[in-house]
Amino acid sequence: MRPVSEQTRVAVLGAGGRMGAAVCDAVRGAADLELVAALHRTDAVSDAVAAGASVAVDFTVPGVTEANVHALVDAGVHAVVGATGWTGESLDRVREHLDGAPGVSVLVAPNFALGAVLAMSFAAQAARWFESAEVVELHHPDKVDAPSGTARHTAAAIAGARAAAGLGVMPDATASGLEGARGADVDGVRVHSVRLRGLVAHEEILLGNPGEQLTVRHDSFDRTSFMPGVLLAVRQAASRPGLTVGLEHLLGLG
Ligand SMILES: NC(=O)C1=CN([C@@H]2O[C@H](COP(=O)(O)OP(=O)(O)OC[C@H]3O[C@@H](n4cnc5c(N)ncnc54)[C@H](OP(=O)(O)O)[C@@H]3O)[C@@H](O)[C@H]2O)C=CC1
Ligand SMILES: O=C(O)C1=N[C@H](C(=O)O)C[C@H](O)C1
């Protein structure tokens, strides 16, 4: 056990959830970290501050997480955020808030699994060379949002790479059919959501050209897959002031 003075004091918001509980276990198992608060929906964010946390990890739910982050920034506590539901507008509000809170950091990452971050990076790298690209995300049926934050982030990165390469609209002759059959449109990239008992978190990026297909696939079979990324973000929080979106920036991929 390290001396208490060397340990980073960590709070977990959403501690009773599937991810929050796994993060609490991971923090307890790390010699350089101390879990000082495990907060549930009935607790206030100020409880993390009162417990002396310097970093708070938020795995609550869309619709709640943004308010948590603003409260943490006000208190000077670094935030590591895994909860989804973030938009360009909500990220802008946090960025603006952080302008008035020098030294405080917020990392929002739609996926902390190293393989998922690499898959997104590979897909974005490949996108400029293909006429077509579509994203399929597959999750457990208890997930409350669709498409997944990861799929949105992936589609946005593909769209950005296509635009930078001067690619236009993808070929698609669909003129009629059932609403929703072609999935959601994220910046011009189609995203399809599967919810199936037995799954955890999976993503396939399909890239097509005449006569060939490239498939990039990542599978999280267990929530332990997210923990190395979460712990990396907690450890780097104090040295990355301002807003960071995506774990890729901590992995040298951003
Ligand atoms: N970035 C990443 O790598 C990953 C992100 N996620 C995302 O993390 C989030 C949580 O996922 P998961 O753990 O599966 O979800 P769960 O439903 O298992 O957990 C959600 C947690 O949020 C808390 N909560 C719910 N409503 C409120 C509220 N109104 N105020 C405060 N807390 C609330 C719950 O508290 P209580 O226990 O008191 O009910 C619960 O602990 C989702 O957005 C998911 O997409 C998931 C996996 C990986
Ligand atoms: O809810 C989940 O489970 C997951 N949510 C995140 C997302 O929406 O991308 C990350 C991962 O896919 C698991």
Structure confidence by residue, pLDDT tens digits, 27-60: 999 999 999 999 999 999 999 999 999 999 999 9
Q: Is 151 found in the same domain as 76?
A: no
Do residues 93 and 133 both lie within one domain? no
Q: 143 and 48 in one domain?
A: no
Q: Are 172 and 134 in contact (CB under 8 A)?
A: no
Task: Judge if 215 and 148 occupy the same domain.
Answer: yes
Same-domain check for residues 24 and 47: yes
pLDDT band at 6 (very low <50, low <70, confident <90, very high): confident
Measuring CA to CA, which residue among 2, 8, 4 is closest to residue 233?
8
ipTM: 0.98
Residue 62 counted as domain residue: yes
Residue 242 sits in the same domain as residue 179:
no
Please tell me whether residues 162 and 77 are part of one structural domain. Answer: no
On whether residue 88 sits in a domain, the answer given is yes
**74/85 same-domain check:** yes
The burial of 145, by beta-carbon neighbours within 10 Å (0-12 exposed, 13-18 middle, 19 or more buried), is given as middle
Q: Are residues 119 and 104 both part of a single domain?
A: no
Single out the residue of 43, 33, 2, 13 nearest to residue 233, CA to CA.
33
Q: Is the Cβ–Cβ distance between 91 and 79 less than 8 Å?
A: no
DSSP state of 135: E
Length of the chain: 254
Q: With contact defined as beta carbons under 8 Å apart, do 94 and 66 qualify? A: yes
- CA atoms 145, 55, 113, 170: torsion sign: positive
The model's confidence at residue 5, banded by pLDDT at 50, 70 and 90, is low
110 is an annotated ligand-binding site residue: yes
Domain that holds residue 179: 114-221
Between the CA of 23 and the centroid of ligand 2 the distance, in Å, is 14
Is pTM beyond 0.90? Reply is yes
Q: How do residues 107-116 score in pLDDT, each as one tens digit?
A: 999 999 999 9
Same domain, 150 and 103: no
| Cα torsion 233, 234, 238, 242: sign | positive
Task: Please state the rounded mean pLDDT for residues 164-187.
Answer: 97
**Within-domain flag for 1:** no
Gap between the Cα atoms of 71 and 45, Å rounded: 7
Asked if pLDDT for residue 224 goes beyond 80, the answer is yes
- In ligand 1, the atom with minimum distance to the C-alpha of 110 is 1
pLDDT above 90: residue 3: no
Q: What is the mean pLDDT of the chain?
A: 97
Catalytic one among 40, 70, 97, 143? 143
Residue nearest to ligand 1 atom 45, measured at CA: 84
Q: Assess whether pLDDT exceeds 70 at residue 2.
A: no
Point out the ligand 1 atom lying closest to the alpha carbon of residue 42. Answer: 38
Residue 177 CA, ligand 1 centroid: distance in Å: 35
